[in-house]
């Protein structure tokens, strides 16, 4: 007789479980739409990892439920992997609600920046904030993201734009990563904008000589891995700047990301693929040739439909072309104080279906499997398969297609992170 494993948690019965059809690897082309759907399902968890997935009957035959096993009843509910947000600017002070109204009156992103708004406006507010304040603000925002089903997210610096302020932001992100239920991946991004009254070349030299080495020491001392990111676009950083920063960052052990082709195409996607970057983000103006380059690489295209929606743009990233060419496509929120004040991934899911023409299944895989690979965590999170971390989002809907259909609503009932219930309806919380 087979020995049954005693489990810490059993999610059962489940109305319907949906996860990637494959158990490993990036999803490209038609693979993005392929999911496994199991009715009357169950998930067994031990030591924070999934050890069994299948029908409730199948899983019951493989595991032992003890007096200490936590039972999560998901009768009639939908279960997916925990959602992963690969692109946020979550740590900042101040707000830019006035800019939203300026855009409603017809002002462009560039016009607002020229009037003293944009990234520099957030710089002024954030430079005056202590680490403690940034942590407190970040904690509140992370709680809202968790409520909407996000179990892992990336957070960038980029509103300090000098050595001390960027390191204060990074220290706040590092502190949040060790104290919050969400898993956090830090990204160091002093190359978000050139601070006022500073020459761009001098600032790039400061990033390379002072900022990146100091940031590397901080994350290394904490035993963490971090990315470096550059906003390579007109009015921000040139392709040559980006190449210089990439070389310095790679030499210090950072992974690479790039804000590419948001306003104009400077060739950042080609550079990122050549350098083995984890992701290229935005890509509203990526060329056909660069789409083919991406398809031949493992660099993930992180598309941000919330940003084009929030900016009221008529054009969106050419997601269908990318998928058809075989690019590994992901989705992110781009949550930030100016161009996309949206933290809900279920809302991003709906916008991806509306504006990028994703199917519900493609959006799920983009927000789980490929998003995890964009953060270098694709072998650990993003799937409901044995051996993966038990990151699980449970929704009060009957099928996957109801999530984008309920546009703007929060359908999430339970969130499980590393096998621990971190969000539940009040009646399910321990007394």
Distances (CA, A) of 184 to 86, 142, 400: 10, 10, 26
Q: 8-41, pLDDT tens digit by residue?
A: 999 999 999 999 999 999 999 999 999 999 999 9
CATH number of the domain at 84-374, out of 3.20.20.140, 2.40.30.10, 2.40.100.10, 3.60.150.10?
A: 3.20.20.140
| pLDDT surpassing 90 at residue 114 | no
**Residue 163: which pLDDT band, with cuts at 50, 70 and 90?**
very high
309's CB contacts (< 8 A; 6+ apart) are 340, 342, 351, 355
Q: In the chain, what is the greatest distance between 2 CA atoms, to the nearest angstrom?
A: 75
**Short-list 249, 251, 264, 304, CA closest to 282:** 304
Residue 349 parent element (H or E): helix 345-355
**pLDDT at res. 62:** 96
Tell me how far apart the alpha carbons of residues 195 and 255 are, in angstroms, rounded to a whole number.
24
Split at pLDDT 50, 70, 90, the class of 1 is very low
- What confidence tens digit (pLDDT) does each residue in 78-90 have? 999 999 999 999 9
Which residues in the chain are classed under CATH 2.30.40.10?
A: 5-81+383-428
Reported as a pLDDT band with limits 50, 70 and 90, residue 427 is: low
pLDDT classification of 319: cutoffs 50, 70, 90: very high
pTM of this prediction? 0.97
pLDDT at 302 over 80: yes
> Does the pLDDT of residue 380 top 50, yes or no?
yes
Q: Between vectors from CA 216 to CA 368 and to CA 130, what angle results, nearest 5°?
A: 85
The CATH 3.20.20.140 portion of the chain extends over: 84-374
Q: What is the pLDDT of residue 110?
A: 81
CATH hierarchy code of domain 5-81+383-428: 2.30.40.10
């Amino acid at each position: 007789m087979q020995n049954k494993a005693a489990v810490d948690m059993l999610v059962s019965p489940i109305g319907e479980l949906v996860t990637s059809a494959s158990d490993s690897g990036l999803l490209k082309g038609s693979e993005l739409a392929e999911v496994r759907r199991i009715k009357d399902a169950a998930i067994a968890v031990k030591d924070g990892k999934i050890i069994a997935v299948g029908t409730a009957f199948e899983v019951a035959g493989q595991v032992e439920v003890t007096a200490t096993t936590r039972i999560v009843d998901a009768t009639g509910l939908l279960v997916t992997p925990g959602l992963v947000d690969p692109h946020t600017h979550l740590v900042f002070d101040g707000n830019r609600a006035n800019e939203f109204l300026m855009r409603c009156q017809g002002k462009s992103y560039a016009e607002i920046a020229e009037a003293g708004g944009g990234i520099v406006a957030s710089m002024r507010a954030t430079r005056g904030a202590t680490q403690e304040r940034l942590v407190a603000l970040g904690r509140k925002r992370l709680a809202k993201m968790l409520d909407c089903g996000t179990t892992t997210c990336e957070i960038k610096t980029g509103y300090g734009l000098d050595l001390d302020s960027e390191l204060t932001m990074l220290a706040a992100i590092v502190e949040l990563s060790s104290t919050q239920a969400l898993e956090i991946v830090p990204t160091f991004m002093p190359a978000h904008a050139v601070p006022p009254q500073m020459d761009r070349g001098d600032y790039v030299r400061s990033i390379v000589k002072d900022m990146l080495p100091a940031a590397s020491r901080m994350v290394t001392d904490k035993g963490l891995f971090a990315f470096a990111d550059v906003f390579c676009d007109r009015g921000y950083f040139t392709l040559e700047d980006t190449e210089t920063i990439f070389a310095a960052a790679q030499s210090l052990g950072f992974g690479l990301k790039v804000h590419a082709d948001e306003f104009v195409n400077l060739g950042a996607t080609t550079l990122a693929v050549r350098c083995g970057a984890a992701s290229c983000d935005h890509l509203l103006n990526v060329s056909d040739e660069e789409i083919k380059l991406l398809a031949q690489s493992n660099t993930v295209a992180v598309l941000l439909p919330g940003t084009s929606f929030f900016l009221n743009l008529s054009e969106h990233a050419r997601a269908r072309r990318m998928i058809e060419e075989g690019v590994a496509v992901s989705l992110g929120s781009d949550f930030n104080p100016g161009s996309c004040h949206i933290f809900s991934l279920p809302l991003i899911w709906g916008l991806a279906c509306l504006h990028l023409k994703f199917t519900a299944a493609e959006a799920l895989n983009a927000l789980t499997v490929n998003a995890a690979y964009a953060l270098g965590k694709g072998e650990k999170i993003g799937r409901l398969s044995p051996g993966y971390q038990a990151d699980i989002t449970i929704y009060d809907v009957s099928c996957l297609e109801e999530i984008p259909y309920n546009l703007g609503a929060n359908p999430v009932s339970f969130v499980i992170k590393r096998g621990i219930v971190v969000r539940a309806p009040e009646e399910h919380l321990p007394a």
